[in-house]
Structures are given as structure tokens and as C-alpha cells.
Amino acid sequence: MALQQSTVGIALQVLGSFDQMLAISKEFFTGTHQRIPALSKFRFQKILRTVSTRNPDPDFAVLCLCILLVQQMPAEMNSIRSQLYVTVKNMISTLEMGHYLSLDLLHCRILITFYEMGHGRHTAAYLSVAACARMARVLGLHRKAWRNMSAGSDRLALEEEKRTWWAMAIMDRFICLCNGDALFVTDDPERIDPLPIEDLLWSEGSGSEELEHFIATPPTLDTPVNVTVGQMAREGQISHLVGRVVRHVFSPTLDPDFNREEGIQLERTLKAYLPLLAQEELRIGKYCAAFGMCNRFVSSSYLSVHSQSDNHSALFILYEFMLNHSNESAAGRQRILQSMEETSHGALMFSRASYLDRCENYPAEVLSPYLPYSLCQAAGIQYRLWKHTNDPKYKEHIETFKDIMGEFTRRWVVASESSTGSVCLCYPSTNAVTDEYLTIIKNFDQSWPFIAVPFQRGFLSTGKPVT
């Protein structure tokens, strides 16, 4: 009772009146929720309506605080507002110590991880996603009850659990990509695993009755690439491929022939998705996060400079692995370089059409935190091409990437430019450092850009310390 009273008391003090809580949640479900649509709007609002007559449970009160936190914009994250981040993390830990575990508390962990990922707290996000996975196992989500729903099952609840599991799996693979780590904390999905239903239906459906048919007949992981699915479902498919590539590169088998064949197949599959993701994003704005994750390997994931006389050979991470474990011909190397330029240029065209030419379609609240890393890497490739050829068009491309990244600085600290040495905004009194991608792009002239090696100075697979 003391735990509940103190937690709820702090939450209500921060959130203010019931009307304020209602406005905060409305902004969330029309904004940030579009990029991480796991929480059930129907269930949340049903519980929220009771708050006007009685105090909420502590896990729901903290969830409301997490919703407020994840909507913070970089301009708002001064030393005072950032205290909310510390407060919320402490409250979650307190509830966990009191064995007050629930789906709402798991949603708190997921939103915290999403917040940390978007605001450059790479190590914190790496640890937080593991905490999400452990709590999910305690709650039994790893058993995936949504695979075989009985006639009397609560399908709305099972869909929320399914979406919660996929949200963790997607972030897990992206975070491992950023840290160069092949150890995932969520199990690999199976070919027949159900994917989330269409996100608009999930967000706007008034209850399980309206969604019965869709929840009972969802797409699956092996749904063909030419079949249109929801944003979260597509992100699930792409994140599975991302996981395969992370393992392929950072934890390869001892069989070089198998590795070569697997690399070729992964490249072929990822390239098959790129045109679809770009077309769907430009048409209806669904797949930008999936495009960013996919593009990260096909157009912008290269390892360090390849030491040849031309001094510009930045290779795909997949190709780099193949080159290190087999004998590539001169023609093969040239194909890699040509593919590097073409796909990097494709990333430029896509992002310019989406975020500059049609920026009015992307209010800050719905910008994805998955894209800035990919855009920064693509800009690094353009820089290398410019230094090698001295062609001014590549310099113009870099300037365009700066403009596009500037759009993302409205929403995510990780995309921004720091004039104070990138001091962490979450703990302003410390010397913790984040990597901010606009700063990295603007400093290319001072430091030859790394492309595939994570910018955040921590590369777990090589045993380097994480900062």
C-alpha cells in the first residue's frame, strides 16, 4: 500500500489533472504511437476513464509518465525536464523489486527503451531491451499464446501481447546492430509466427468485436514480399532479416562456402524489399523504419576503408565479410563499389522525396528513430565518393543529407548537432557522451568516417569498452 501510494502520488503530481492526462494520451496515440504501436488504445482509454473517480494502479500511473516522457522533444530536454527520465526509471525498478509485474509495466520498459534509442543512450537501450525480454518471459509472452487462439480466447489481449513481443524483437535486433553484437535477448521468430495486424485497425478499432476477423487471420512471417501488410508487420519481417545479417557478420560459421551462399541470399532478399518499402513509404507513409533497417545493410553498412591505391573502397558489411573469407575477382570488387554508389544514391533519393519534398506529411511526433543511423552512414559513403572523385555532385548530396538530418533533430537527440561536445542531456551533471549524427556528418573533414562500425564508440563483438 505504501508503494502504491508513493508511486501514484508522484505520478499524479507530475501529470496534473485528469484533463491533462487525457490530452497527453491523445497526443501520444496520434503521434509517437504510430512508430511503436504495441499498446492497446482501447484498453488504455478504458482504464484511463476510471482515473477520474479513483486512483490508478501504480503500473498504470507509471505508464502514463512514460507516455509523457517518450513525447519529449529535444528542445524540451533541459536539466529540469530530463529529471522525469531518472524518476520514471527509478519507479519502474521500485515496482519490479516489489514484484508488481504486469503488461503495463512491460509497456513502460518498452517505451523507455524506445526513448533511449532515439535520444542516443545506446548503452542504456542495450541494457533496457534485455530487461524487457526478461520481464516478458516472467509474464509468459515467450510462449506465444497468440499462435493458437481458441474460440473463447481474449483475442484483443492476445494481439496486444503479440505486438508487445514484436516491438521488443524489432528493437532488440536494431540495438544489436548498432552495438555490433550477435547475442539477441528475444528468440528468433519462426516462419509461421503471426505478425501484427494492420496498425490503423489496431489503433482505431473500438474493441475486439470489430477486430475478430483480422486478429484471427493475421499475416505471418513468411508472407510474400508482394503482399501489403501493416507497418509493424513489415518491420517484423525486416528485423528478422537484420538479425540474420548481424549473426552472419558478427558470429559467422566455420564453413566459408556456407557463409558465402548465405551472404548472397541475404543480399538478394534485402534488395528485393527495398523498392517495395520505398514505394509504400512514398505512397502512404508506412514503412520508413523498415526501409531504414533494410537500407542499413544494403545501402549503407560498410566496414572501414579498404586499403588499395584508390583509397575509397568502403564495402558493404555483407560484401566485406565475403571478401575476407573468399577470393573476389577484380570484377567482383568493382560490382561491390558500383552497388555501394547506386544504393547510397537510392537512399538519398528516398529520404529527400520523403522528408524534404513532403515534410508536411511528417510532423515531428511521427519521425522514426531508426532512420538517422542509416542516413548518417549513407552520407559517409557520399563523402568518400566526393574525396575520391572530386565530383561536386557528391558534395551537394552531403549537404542534402544534412538538411534531411536537420528534420530529424526536431524529434530525436541522436540525430542532432551538439555545440557542447555531445554532453548527455539525460544526465546533464555527468560527462556521459552521446553520438549525434548531424555532428558526425559535419565533422567528416576532421575524421575519415567509419561506416559500419557503430559510431557510439562501443563495438561489443571486438571487445572494445562501451561508453
In three-state form (DSSP H/G/I as H, E/B as E, the rest C), the secondary structure along the chain is: CHHHHHHHHHHHHHHCCHHHHHHHHHHHHHCHHHCCCCCCHHHHHHHHCCCCCCCCCHHHHHHHHHHHHHCCCHHHCCCCCCHHHHHHHHHHHHHHHCCCCCHHHHHHHHHHHHHHHHCCCHHHHHHHHHHHHHHHHHCCHHHCHHHCCCCCCCHHHHHHHHHHHHHHHHHHHHHHHHHCCCCCCCCCCCCCCECCCCHHHHHHCCCHHHHHHHHHCCCECCCCCCCCCCHHHHHHHHHHHHHHHHHHHHCCCCCHHHHHHHHHHHHHHHHHHHHHHHHHHHHHCCCHHHHHHHHHHHCCCECCCECCCCCCECCEHHHHHHHHHCCCCHHHHHHHHHHHHHHHHHHHHHHHHHHCCCHHHCCHHHCCCCHHHHHHHHHHHHHHHHHHHCCHHHHHHHHHHHHHHHHHCCCCHHHCCCCCCCECCCCCCCCCECCCHHHHHHCCCCCCCCCCCCCCCCCHHHCCCCC
Q: Indicate the pLDDT class of residue 352, thresholds 50, 70 and 90.
A: confident
Looking at mean pLDDT, say which of 147-156, 272-281, 397-406 comes out highest. Answer: 397-406
> Is 33 in contact with 110 (CB distance < 8 Å)?
no
| pLDDT mean across residues, the chain | 80
**359 phi and psi angles, rounded to 5 deg:** -65, -25
CA 207, distance to chain mean position in Å, is 28
* Whole-number pLDDT of residue 204: 83
Residue 206 has pLDDT above 80, yes or no: no
* Whole-number pLDDT of residue 42: 92
Residues 28-70 pLDDT 10s? 999 999 999 999 999 999 999 988 778 889 999 999 999 999 9
Q: CA 413 to CA 415: how far, in whole Å?
A: 5
Residue 128 has pLDDT above 70, yes or no: yes
* Whole-number pLDDT of residue 292: 64
Average pLDDT rounded to a whole number, residues 207-216: 81
* Whole-number pLDDT of residue 296: 58
Residues 141-157 pLDDT 10s? 999 999 988 878 899 99
Nine-digit cell string for 278:
520505398
Average pLDDT rounded to a whole number, residues 402-426: 73
Residue 291 has pLDDT above 80, yes or no: no
Burial class of residue 430 in the structure, from the number of CB atoms within 10 Å of its CB (0-12 exposed, 13-18 middle, 19+ buried): exposed
Nearest by Cα to 177 from 456, 463, 464: 456
